[in-house]
């Protein structure tokens, strides 16, 4: 049996925050649902991009990030996605989390207070040490890209 690693995620919320905190909906969920914290409904017209507030800020341990991803049900049923998917919350960011949503659908979509609008996945990261070299090691693939394998 493989146990998942657990880290401490500190969440700051306003005193008048009245919504469920981000949470895993099932035991096997990778992402925690994040909710819209709006005073009034936000209507996303087709093609429109809006920043939707969540009301929460987080503190992630160094060596981790929070990835903010769209919800598949909103994408399939309404064409709702995120412009910067996945969004990254760095371990040193302490501001409010905002979700940059877009309506790819053909009808207006209304975001209401408390709607589950995104998923937050906590992931390990590492820093890279940059080393400038004259040549790179060779591979079978080499510089082939953008469909070089013939698969569409």
* pTM assigned to the model: 0.86
Domain boundaries, the chain: 20-124
Contact, 53 vs 98, CB < 8 A?
A: yes
- Per-residue pLDDT tens digits of the chain, which is 152 residues long: 677 789 999 999 999 999 999 999 998 899 999 999 999 999 999 999 999 999 999 999 999 999 999 999 999 999 999 999 999 999 999 999 999 999 999 999 999 999 999 999 999 999 999 999 999 999 887 787 776 666 65
Contact 120/68 with Cβ under 8 angstroms? yes
User: In the CATH scheme, what architecture does the domain 20-124 have?
Assistant: Distorted Sandwich (2.70)
């Amino acid at each position: 049996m493989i146990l998942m690693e657990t880290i401490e995620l500190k969440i700051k919320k306003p005193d008048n925050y009245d919504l469920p905190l981000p949470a895993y909906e099932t035991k096997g969920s990778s992402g925690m649902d994040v909710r819209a914290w709006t005073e009034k409904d936000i209507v996303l017209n087709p093609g429109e991009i809006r920043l939707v507030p969540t009301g929460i800020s987080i503190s992630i341990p160094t060596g981790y990030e929070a990835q903010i991803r769209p919800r598949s049900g909103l994408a399939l049923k309404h064409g709702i996605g995120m412009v910067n998917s996945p969004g990254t919350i760095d371990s040193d960011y302490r501001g409010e989390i905002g979700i940059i949503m877009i309506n790819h659908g053909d009808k207006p979509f209304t975001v209401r207070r408390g709607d589950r609008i995104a998923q937050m996945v906590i992931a390990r990261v590492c820093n890279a040490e940059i080393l400038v070299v004259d040549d790179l090691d060779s591979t079978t693939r080499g510089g082939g890209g953008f469909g070089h394998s013939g698969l569409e």
